[in-house]
Amino acid sequence: MSATSKMHASERFAELSDRIREAQKRIEAGQEQTKAELERSAADARASAQAHAEKRHESASAGEARASDSWSAMQTSWNEHIMKMRANVRSTKAVIDATQAADRAADAESDAVSAIEFAYEAIGEAESAVLEAFSAERDADELARKQ
């Protein structure tokens, strides 16, 4: 790993932190939005996430692709889950009564909490991966000095 790669990993983690702060601000603002505004905000967030995923996939180098095969499999599984969740949301929008609406809200809340827990775990894994990359660089430097 080069100094550029180390910087890239730590910079990307800092960008993730910034992204979380931005999302938190939009979520807080969402508490005061109308239903139409909330739907537009959710669609914007979804589009942004999709665009980021596509950009990441397109820009992955061959080395990144090899290193991230297991991450790619996880991403595929996650994308399948998201597609099912979105299909469920679309199919339940034609709510007939208040009880169904309350059930739909509870399901949406449960999905949100699950996504947050998944992200929380992913952030911990990202932190660990950056630190392990730094450690591997130290090992490589030490071995290079011995040769």
**Eight-state DSSP code of residue 96:** -
Kindly give the confidence (pLDDT) of every residue in the chain, 147 residues in length, as a single tens digit, with 9 standing for 90 and above: 455 555 688 898 899 999 999 999 999 999 999 989 998 998 899 888 888 878 877 776 555 655 667 767 777 787 787 778 777 766 666 656 888 888 888 988 998 888 888 888 888 888 888 888 889 988 999 999 998
Tokens at 69, concatenated = 């095969």
Angle at 109 between CA 107 and CA 111, to 5 degrees: 70
Residue the block writes with tokens 């947050």: 116
Q: Token digits for 20?
A: 């979380």
C-beta of residue 6 within 8 angstroms of C-beta of residue 134: yes
Report the alpha-carbon distance of residue 140 to residue 147 in Å, rounded: 11
C-alpha R_g of the chain: 20
Count Cβ neighbours within 10 Å for each residue of 55-81 and write b for 16 or more, e otherwise: eeeeeeeeeeeeeeeebeeeeeeeeee
- Read off the pTM: 0.66
Residue 58 CA: distances (Å) to CA of 19, 63, 82:
20, 13, 20
